[in-house]
A and B are shown apart, each in its own frame.
Chain A
Amino acid sequence: MSSTKAISAVQSVVNELLAELHTRGGCDQVGLTRESFAVILCEIGCKHTTPSIPESEIRAFFLSLRVEELALARACAAGLNPAWEIFLTRYRVKLYQAALRIAREDSAAKELADTLYADLYGMSTRDGQRVSKLASYTGRGSLEGWLRTVLAQEYVNRYRRTKRLVSLDEESEEGMQFQAPDPEPTPSVDPRLAQAADEALAALCGEDRMVLSAYYLDGRTLAEIARMLGVHESTISRKLDKLAKALRKQILAGLGRRGMSRRQAEEALEMDVRDLRIDIRRSLAQESSPPAFSEKRVEARARDGPG
């Protein structure tokens, strides 16, 4: 019942704002009728609102949408030619530039952009109906930003698919297929250390964990992380430094609460058993005798010549 109530609330607001939004969106220019635009708005409203949201917030939500770009995108998704003309005029070059920035290489960028164009145009069909990626655009962000995000998603998916595909020839050359299973068992970390670390990380807010993950796991630079969050680079720098100190302090405290002494806790924190990997090959090479023949000796003999 609550969802029905939410739907009716959305419809009520859409009916109230339809005229204004239809005009603002320039729907007539792209060939989008008022009825079809109302359906689009209701769909978006139902997707992004919850039954508990009051009508005032629903109204504010609709008024915050980029209705002009929404109308254009949905008209393109519907295959309306006037919309496509406008879309290509505005976004063709930008799409290619975004692909070039993501792929960093001309041919890859062109391929990426062309692939996305096909998806946007709706080359694929489902149940006899064209499926366009533009139909998923809801107008919450700019259409240009949405296109960049879709390009990035496509690129990441391609990269991950490519990464998973390993050539057998390459494995053969590296001797991977003959690789013996790792004889060394994975050293287990003191569970208290993991618990203390989990406890310390759980106390952090999502943004802090995101910054830590982006920096230490993804290897992102401070500038990249700053761009992701829309803050200054120095803010990220200070945050990371502060977080590192706080985490260390919290983990040490957590280990202390779990029965470790201060010294033990510091040792556990500083020294990870998994880092203690014994290089057997190196050790064997140091203990063995020098090779029987050396390149230098061979050359000397060659110079001496017969007799």
Chain B
Amino acid sequence: MPQAEMQNVPKIVRERLKAAKPGEHHLDADMLTAFAERSLPDRERTAVVEHLASCGDCRDVLALAVPETETAQTVMTPTRGGRLTWPVLRWGFIAAAGIAIVSLGIVQYQRHLPPATMVAKQTKPEAVATDVQAQPGTPSSAAGSAETQEKSLAAAPSSGETISRTEELKQGKLVAPAQAPKVSTRQLYSVGGVVAGTAALARPSAVLPSAAAREQAADTPLTAQIPPVAETVEAQAPSVASPVGTETKKSLQLEARPLQPQQEFDYSAGAVGKAKLALNAPASNASPAVGGPMPQPGSNARRFVQLSNQAAPPSWTISPSGGLQRSFDQGQTWQDVDVNAGSANGYTSLAVVAKTAPGKDSLADRKISKEPGAAFVFRAVAAIGPEVWAGGSGGVLYHSLDAGGHWVQVAPSANGATLTGDVVSLEFPDAQHVNLTTSTPEIWTTTDAGQTWQKQ
């Protein structure tokens, strides 16, 4: 601040300063020198300053005695080097802090990106069609045709077409139907209750049938054949021999269900855990027809629910009766969440089985059958953004990547043991790490988003 612009003190202050009487004795040269060179202890320094406050003579002596060159050295802050002066360091610290904040923001943004990434964004605009057709076809042909649509969306299971589950499931791949209709990259379809990681995203599991298709395949269960996509993750599923509709518990069936029109899925490439497609819940209604607002072919009505596109992820709680509930309005209203929703509309949800190591356990050992309409008693829920883990009685563990729009049941197993105890607590520090505690008590952990589990 320039000297001229400094605020002035009232004249009375100057008068009273002048009236202050100094001590009887002036400071000797030793004290003044030691003060100027800052070699006095605090106690003595305070006494010297008090004297200087009222003695003009000593102030004059001090002002004359302090040399300019020496005071320049004392005034300047100590430097570690020619360049590392305090102003440089200060701006360096500020720049480093800014970079750290930006990096943290980027990390947080990436962390909260929709976990359910869809190949749709990676696929060509001419993606799979919307119709779900139960079309008979061999897996190979389906696979072959699917390969042409390797990067397309919404592998639509043709009506009547069954998946050669034994082969594909052993390979851990789901083959897309031969004539999967194309959809736009952003018109993806949900398979009721299943968002099986990138597999589901990479291979849009089900294509909602058009009205004509529904009529044709009214009684034919939908089957989803997901084309093998290199970037997709293999899924392990128990072998399913029969097509959907005949073996409801163990068939690999992907049945689409209509999504809420206002809910739009935003698929983006990204691995959020791996495909865990496995079994399904029995489809009470194999008809591909879905109730409610069935979208027309090519329409945008059939969309995956992607709640992560909501302004804010929902809050989660467990009701006194053990039901799972979520709130989008910060707790003002709560919605019951049925992890098996869709059965009433003829859709089934897929259960997911996690494997501990490839080849160790047969797929059959890890089958999970799900009775339609079975109620769960949840006891723990944890969520980060749209990704939710919920556990309850009897080792029940569900995982959702879209804030509860779709659920995948996870059955942790390790060294032949499966999770059977009641899940009483869930820790979910990030997408890859989940720790759960059971009532037994046991501690199960995963470091790869549920692909493999370790039991403690």
- B65 and A152 form a contact (CB under 8 A): yes
In the complex, chain B residues 31-88 whose Cβ is within 8 Å of any chain A Cβ: 31-34, 36-40, 46, 49-50, 52-54, 56-57, 59-68, 70-72, 74-77
Once bound together, how far apart are the Cα atoms of A228 and B67, in whole Å?
Answer: 9
- B46 and A145 form a contact (CB under 8 A): no
Q: Which 5 A-B pairs have the closest CB atoms?
A: A141-B33, A227-B71, A152-B64, A209-B53, A206-B50
For residue A198, which residues in chain B have a CB less than 8 angstroms away from its CB? 16
- B16 and A156 form a contact (CB under 8 A): no
Q: Decide yes or no: A270 and B68 within 8 Å by CB, A140-B30, A217-B18 being known contacts.
A: no
| Interface membership of B6, Cβ < 8 A | yes
- B3 and A221 form a contact (CB under 8 A): yes
- B57 and A156 form a contact (CB under 8 A): yes
For residue A214, which residues in chain B have a CB less than 8 angstroms away from its CB? 59, 63
Q: Which of A137, A207, A247, A248 contacts B49 (CB 8 A)?
A: A207
- B18 and A201 form a contact (CB under 8 A): no
| Interface membership of A163, Cβ < 8 A | no
Once bound together, how far apart are the Cα atoms of A128 and B66, in whole Å?
Answer: 35
Category for how many chain B residues contact A: 35 or more
> Smallest distance from the beta carbon of B148 to chain A beta carbons, Å?
73
- B29 and A213 form a contact (CB under 8 A): no
- A226 and B75 form a contact (CB under 8 A): yes
Q: Decide yes or no: A64 and B7 within 8 Å by CB, A213-B17, A227-B74, A232-B77 being known contacts.
A: no
For residue B13, which residues in chain A have a CB less than 8 angstroms away from its CB? 197, 200-201, 212, 216, 247, 251
> Smallest distance from the beta carbon of B70 to chain A beta carbons, Å?
8
* A contact residues vs B (CB 8 Å cutoff): 64, 98, 101-102, 136-138, 140-142, 145-146, 148-153, 155-156, 160, 189, 193-194, 197-198, 200-201, 205-207, 209-210, 212-214, 216-218, 220-222, 224, 226-228, 230-234, 237-238, 240-241, 243-245, 247-248, 251, 269-270, 272, 274-275
For residue B49, which residues in chain A have a CB less than 8 angstroms away from its CB? 205-207, 210
> Smallest distance from the beta carbon of A71 to chain B beta carbons, Å?
16
- Most chain B CB within 10 A, of A141, A200, A207, is at A141
Once bound together, how far apart are the Cα atoms of A142 and B12, in whole Å?
Answer: 40
A to B CB contacts below 8 Å, 12 in the list? A102-B64, A141-B39, A148-B64, A198-B16, A206-B50, A209-B17, A212-B9, A217-B18, A218-B63, A220-B63, A226-B75, A272-B12
Q: Which of B11, B30, B72 contacts A272 (CB 8 A)?
A: B11
> Smallest distance from the beta carbon of A235 to chain B beta carbons, Å?
9
Q: Decide yes or no: A241 and B6 within 8 Å by CB, A140-B40, A156-B64, A275-B11 being known contacts.
A: yes
Q: Decide yes or no: A156 and B60 within 8 Å by CB, A197-B13, A213-B17 being known contacts.
A: yes
Q: Which of A205, A228, A230, A251 contacts B10 (CB 8 A)?
A: A251
> Smallest distance from the beta carbon of B261 to chain A beta carbons, Å?
63
Q: Which of A194, A237, A272 contacts B1 (CB 8 A)?
A: A237
- A228 and B62 form a contact (CB under 8 A): yes
> Smallest distance from the beta carbon of B437 to chain A beta carbons, Å?
57
- A232 and B75 form a contact (CB under 8 A): yes
- A137 and B61 form a contact (CB under 8 A): no
For residue A213, which residues in chain B have a CB less than 8 angstroms away from its CB? 17, 20, 52-54, 56, 59
- A152 and B33 form a contact (CB under 8 A): no
11 extra interchain contacts, Cβ-Cβ under 8 A, other than A156-B60, A189-B12?
A141-B33, A148-B67, A149-B36, A193-B12, A197-B13, A206-B53, A213-B59, A217-B56, A221-B3, A227-B74, A251-B10
For residue A138, which residues in chain B have a CB less than 8 angstroms away from its CB? 30
Once bound together, how far apart are the Cα atoms of A17 and B115, in whole Å?
Answer: 74
| Interface membership of B108, Cβ < 8 A | no
For residue B72, which residues in chain A have a CB less than 8 angstroms away from its CB? 227
Q: Which partner residue on chain A sits nearest B44 by CB separation?
A: A48
* B contact residues vs A (CB 8 Å cutoff): 1, 3, 6-18, 20, 28-34, 36-40, 46, 49-50, 52-54, 56-57, 59-68, 70-72, 74-77
Once bound together, how far apart are the Cα atoms of A214 and B60, in whole Å?
Answer: 9
For residue A137, which residues in chain B have a CB less than 8 angstroms away from its CB? 29-30
Q: Decide yes or no: A194 and B12 within 8 Å by CB, A148-B65, A206-B46, A213-B53 being known contacts.
A: yes
Q: Decide yes or no: A140 and B34 within 8 Å by CB, A213-B17, A217-B56 being known contacts.
A: yes
Q: Which partner residue on chain B sits nearest A201 by CB separation?
A: B16
> Smallest distance from the beta carbon of B79 to chain A beta carbons, Å?
13
For residue B50, which residues in chain A have a CB less than 8 angstroms away from its CB? 206
> Smallest distance from the beta carbon of A246 to chain B beta carbons, Å?
10
For residue A200, which residues in chain B have a CB less than 8 angstroms away from its CB? 13
Q: Decide yes or no: A141 and B62 within 8 Å by CB, A213-B56, A247-B10 being known contacts.
A: no
- A145 and B37 form a contact (CB under 8 A): yes
For residue A142, which residues in chain B have a CB less than 8 angstroms away from its CB? 33, 37
- B67 and A98 form a contact (CB under 8 A): yes
- A156 and B10 form a contact (CB under 8 A): no
Once bound together, how far apart are the Cα atoms of A272 and B61, in whole Å?
Answer: 32
